[in-house]
């Protein structure tokens, strides 16, 4: 193809390019969204797996909540899967996830035990819980030792226990449906 003086390279590109139909454009966009979604899902899953808590060889499953009540995670999880939620009053993401945990605990379908990490004295924790109208069972891990035993790296973190054993570990923001699904899956496997 020869170019005359009046034909520019842009004109050639326009002549040689085929215009996509709206259907082709939509399909191309869908492919791009799915590809990026898949990449995000893989990266998120790998990071979540890397950051999740790890059950200690000899876990402390007999705990005492900040009000002095004994909690036996082994017996609770023998009846049905139990969610253990590691969080802190100082954690900005936990301020987003804690209302979801409160809803899950209030639904009373599955036991929920929360562990507040380095969140002050029992009185300070009680004030925080009342101020935010949280009614979930809470253990005050004042020195962070329980979280350290579980090799926790980030808050919020979640552990699903069944028969005293960890079946799943999660981190980050988890929607209510995801937590319910994970508890249900733990109950059938």
Q: Is residue 5 part of a domain?
A: no
Residue 85 β-bridge partners: 114, 158
* N- to C-terminal Cα separation, the chain: 68
CA distances from 114 to 85, 89, 156 (A): 5, 12, 10
In a shared domain, residues 108 and 17: no
Match 């925080």 to its residue by tokens: 128
H helix or E strand, kind and range, residue 116: strand 112-117
pTM of the model: 0.77
pLDDT, tens only, 31-79: 999 999 888 878 776 777 777 888 888 888 999 999 999 999 999 999 9
- Structural domain containing residue 72: 62-188
Domain count, the chain: 2
Q: In this predicted model, which residue has the larger pLDDT, 157 or 7?
A: 157
State residue 141's pLDDT score: 97
In a shared domain, residues 45 and 72: no
Q: Mean pLDDT across the chain, nearest whole number?
A: 89
Specify the CATH number for the domain of residue 91.
3.40.30.10
pLDDT, tens only, 173-186: 999 999 999 999 99
In a shared domain, residues 47 and 131: no
């Amino acid at each position: 193809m020869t170019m005359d003086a009046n034909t520019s390279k842009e004109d050639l590109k326009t002549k040689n390019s085929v215009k996509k139909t709206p259907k082709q454009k939509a399909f191309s966009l869908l492919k791009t969204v799915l590809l990026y979604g898949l990449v995000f899902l893989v990266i998120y899953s790998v990071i979540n797996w890397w950051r999740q808590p790890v059950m200690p060889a000899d876990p402390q499953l007999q705990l005492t909540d900040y009000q002095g009540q004994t909690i036996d995670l082994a017996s609770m999880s023998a009846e049905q899967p139990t969610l253990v939620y590691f969080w802190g009053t100082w954690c900005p993401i936990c301020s987003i996830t804690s209302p979801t945990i409160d809803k899950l605990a209030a639904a009373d379908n599955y036991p929920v035990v929360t562990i507040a990490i380095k969140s002050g004295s029992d009185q300070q924790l009680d004030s925080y819980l009342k101020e935010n109208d949280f009614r979930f069972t809470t253990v005050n891990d004042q020195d962070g030792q329980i979280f350290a035993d579980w090799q926790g790296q980030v808050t919020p973190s979640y552990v699903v226990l069944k028969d005293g054993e960890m079946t799943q570990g999660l981190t980050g923001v988890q929607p209510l449906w995801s937590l319910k699904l994970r508890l249900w899956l733990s109950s059938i496997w």
